[in-house]
Amino acid sequence: AAMRPELLQIGAFPPQVQAEIDADFHCHSLDALANAPALADAIVGIITRSNQRVPAEVVERLPGLRIISTFGVGYDQIPLELAARRGIVVTNTPDVLNAAVAELCVGMLLSLLRDLPRADRFVREGLWRQAPFPLAVSLAGKRVGIVGLGRIGKEIARRLEPFGVTLAYHGRTDQRLAWRHEPDLLALAADSDILIVSAPGGNGTARMIDARVLAALGPQGYLVNVARGSLVDEAALIEALQGKTIAGAALDVYDNEPAIDERLFALENVLLTPHIGSATHETRHAMAQLTLDNLRTFFREGRALTPVVFE
């Protein structure tokens, strides 16, 4: 097609999505950019995924860059200050993934409390005839604390309410909702049987779930992280799981994905999923459309559909 805007593409997309990208845009890889420096002057946009780092050095070398469109809601891998300073628009894919992430969170929590992975293995391995499966833990009646009650956190809270739990949340602002706001994270951990992490990654939240928070959660307490690995002190978490100073954890996100800390593999009281919060056909399709529509609308009309508002 004529006049396709020149994009730098960071990260891979499924073939069908790539075909749609290529129909409207002319994409170049980081390698192509490194091998043909003159290309830098032509690039007007970046298309990326929220798990890919967008290096500041690269953005600095693109004088005509006007927009960075990321596939995913997290933008902790994008140099936001630099983008703001340069007037570069950053877009993400909020809301369309809320249901999928909330569904995974609830599923992980129930699976952790009832130990479904082990129950499945127990049946397959023929152990049922020999002894009953160990008793597990109910969700009903538990106190659930949500760290980061945003778009996703609220959908998690709404889905948990019918289970008969007591909900409270921690965040920087009291949103004046039906659920109790707790400005002190340690107090929320101490008052919770289950702590769910759904705040954004980045500098402001790095390692906020540390050894002290885990100690406050206590030996009957469970942690669920569907946000980012960076929010949790992973070494402290592994130590707490090994020493059983918390009861268990369900993790979708980690430090150093996908080469995660293998000490986690040896632990029975942890449920591990491979960063699949938004990974359903329906949701990934909607995310791809929004990633592309942000770019299309921007180059056609000069405005983006879901720009990130810089704090």
Give the interface with ligand NDP as residue ranges (CB under 6 A). Answer: 73-74, 94, 97, 101, 148-153, 170-173, 198-201, 204-205, 226-228, 252-253, 275, 277-278
Tokens representing 282 are 């329906």
Minimum gap (Å) between residue 100 Cβ and ligand NDP:
8
Residue matched to tokens 């069908």: 16
65 versus 251: smaller Cβ distance to ligand NDP:
251
Closest approach, Cβ 184 to ligand NDP, in A, equals 11
Strand partners, 69: 47, 91
Q: Is 275 a catalytic residue?
A: yes
Supply the minimum distance, in Å, between the C-beta of residue 136 and ligand NDP.
24
Nearer to ligand NDP, 25 or 52 (CB): 52
Sign for the CA dihedral angle at 52, 42, 290, 153 comes to: positive
Catalytic residue among 228, 234, 282, 300: 228
Residue nearest to ligand NDP (CB): 150
Name which of 6 and 191 has its Cβ closer to ligand NDP. Answer: 191
Taking the CA atoms of residue 26, residue 29, residue 30 and residue 33 in that order, the dihedral angle to the nearest 10 degrees is -50
Q: Which residues contact 157 (CB under 8 A, 6 or more apart)?
A: 144, 146, 149, 167, 169, 179
Asked if 87 and 65 count as a contact pair (C-beta separation under 8 A), the reply is no
Q: Is 161 a catalytic residue?
A: no
**Do 169 and 194 meet the contact criterion of CB atoms below 8 Å apart?**
no
86 is catalytic: no
State which residue, 152 or 189, has the beta carbon closest to ligand NDP: 152
Residues in the chain: 311
- Shortest reach from residue 174's CB to ligand NDP, in Å: 8
Task: List the catalytic residues.
Answer: 228, 257, 275
